[in-house]
Structure 1
Amino acid sequence: MTKPDSPLRPFVTTLVPYDLGPGPVGVHRGLPSATLSITLPEADPVEIGWLAHPASRRHHRAAVAGLHLDPARIRQSGCTRGVYLALSPLGAAALLGVPASALAGNVADLADVAPALADLPERLAACPTWPRRRALVERSLLAGLARHGEPGNAPELRAMLAALSRTPRVHEAAQLLGCSRRHLSGRVRTQLGVTAKEYQRLVRFASARSRLAAAGTARSALADVAAASGFADQAHLSREWRAMAGCTPTGWLRSEGSEVRGSEA
């Protein structure tokens, strides 16, 4: 995580080292989230594609993934370590210079999205320790923030996303904001590339993911996780999990093992 007083704090929710596991090939299931992600492999390129569409798999020296509602397959041969970042939807414009909507449903090369960061993987490879890698990434993002800055509509969008995160239905969020559902839905779709309802699904799913990682594989915990995350019941949680993760909640916990306590997908 970024330092409490860092200017990056509103835009970077996660900044951690990752390791996809022992052996010559590391494979990880990338789950939907309410954040965008940047994957910076330490050495070898990372292969990312949608789990249900093998033809979508591409190798990236560094990858940026927009908001998505389908599971991804992340595969890294050779060195399976790197740096993982999660950005808030506002972080895309403020740090990379592109709106979140331009990246929705896609995985792109970091060099194509933010040319100023094209050499970041090579610079990271020359850093021998995690503190130095972290400091390099933070300096690079701060330089991006200085170039682009927070967009003028950021307060409005931040309020909309906060309202959607606090309510189970879009019309309830619109009531909190004092606007029409149509206005809220249109603004969110334009800025994020997903609908307001889809963003609420992502928020619930991300909440369930964190709670499941903490609760473990006990089936008795699933009902509690469902209720605490805003699902109607355990069956609702299970249906959403199959749709957005491509597996059951317990199946994900078993396959990912200790990785579920690490970086977001």
Structure 2
Amino acid sequence: MIPAPPVPAALRRYVVARLPYDVAFGAPGVHRGLPSTTLTFVLPIDDPLRVSWAGRPASLHAAWGSLSGLHTEPAAIHHDGAQQGIQLALTLEGARVLLGRPAADLAGALTDLDEAVVPPALRELPERLHATPAWAARVALVDRTLAGLAARAGDPEPRAEVAHALALLTSGTGVEAAAAEVGYSRRRLSSLVRAECGLAPKAYQRVARLEAARRLLGHRPLAEVAASCGYADQAHLTREWSALAGCTPTTWLREEFPFVQDRGDGGGAGSEHD
């Protein structure tokens, strides 16, 4: 793990995790990137990030800066035995403020930063990072760049009722009840949520539940995780995990959990390096 200060207070509405990493695995391999309610922004150092959708080798691409929107399938992160870089988890509001576009524009996509429609300051960031040798200076550069974008962006936050509905869905409230709470029909809410994040409300809720379960796996028994996160039972948890993460919870604990623990991962499920 690379020691780093917390995300600056001015950025915490937009960046829920900012993780510098320098990891040696000992041998080439592949890691899973799980679905998440945040967007993943990865800035590799020394070698480009090689990522694809799991089970779809034809989607493999290499990039010096990668953006992934919300998705409902796992990504596959390929490495040659070591990886270095800085990874960020951006909120839906962060997409609007820092990327200048709604998260829905990037949903289900693994986008090369060079090809993305983003502010020039972000497109220039990989080259500037490569010219910065010290980790503390690299983290500071990322923070300054994002703070500058936030200061110039005004406050283009999602509609308050949509943000409230997404919070309700994350907490486990049903789609019908969430729509009633914010005063919309289910159809209208579905259209607005999809326009904001790129997922239908039910899909967003499934991803949010997976994200909550991921934080508890390895710390509590599977049956307790299922009950705490709103699954009908442990079998339901296993089915949903297999559908969204591409493996059972037990497989993820065996193959991925030690890596996540070693990194001291503080969130950003769905991140490219989880």
TM-score when normalising by structure 2: 0.87
DSSP 3-state at the match of 2:9: coil
Q: How does 1:1-265 map to 2 (within 5 A)?
A: 3=6, 6-23=9-26, 25-77=28-80, 79-113=82-116, 114=118, 115-151=120-156, 153-215=158-220, 221-261=221-261, 262=263, 263=265, 264=269, 265=271
- List alignment gaps of at least 5 residues for structure 1: 216-220
Q: What's the offset of the Cα at 1:138?
A: 1.0
What letter matches 1:248 in structure 2?
T
Give deviations 1:203-231, integer Å, cap 9, x for gaps: 1000001110434xxxxx00100111111
Q: What's the offset of the Cα at 1:107?
A: 0.6
Q: Which residue of structure 2 aligns with residue 218 of structure 1?
A: none
CA distance in 1, matches of 2:96, 2:190: 20
DSSP 3-state at the match of 2:11: coil
Give deviations 1:53-79, integer Å, cap 9, x for gaps: 110011111100000000110113375
CA distance in 2, matches of 1:168, 1:31: 22
The runs of at least 4 aligned residues of structure 1 exceeding 6 Å deviation read none
CA distance in 2, matches of 1:228, 1:239: 16
* Structure holding more helix per residue: 1
CA distance in 2, matches of 1:182, 1:2: 43
- Contact kept in structure 2, 1:253 and 1:260, CA below 8 Å: no
CA gap 1:118/1:4 in 2 versus in 1, 3 angstroms = closer
CA distance in 2, matches of 1:174, 1:259: 39
- List alignment gaps of at least 5 residues for structure 2: none
- Contact kept in structure 1, 2:72 and 2:207, CA below 8 Å: yes
CA distance in 2, matches of 1:257, 1:246: 15
TM-score when normalising by structure 1: 0.90
Q: Which has the higher contact order (CA 8 A, sep 6+)?
A: 2
DSSP 3-state at the match of 1:108: strand
Q: What's the offset of the Cα at 1:26?
A: 4.9
- Contact kept in structure 1, 2:8 and 2:143, CA below 8 Å: no
What RMSD, in angstroms, separates the aligned Cα atoms of the two structures? 2.1
CA distance in 1, matches of 2:232, 2:239: 11
Q: What's the offset of the Cα at 1:143?
A: 1.8
CA distance in 2, matches of 1:238, 1:153: 33
What letter matches 2:241 in structure 1?
W
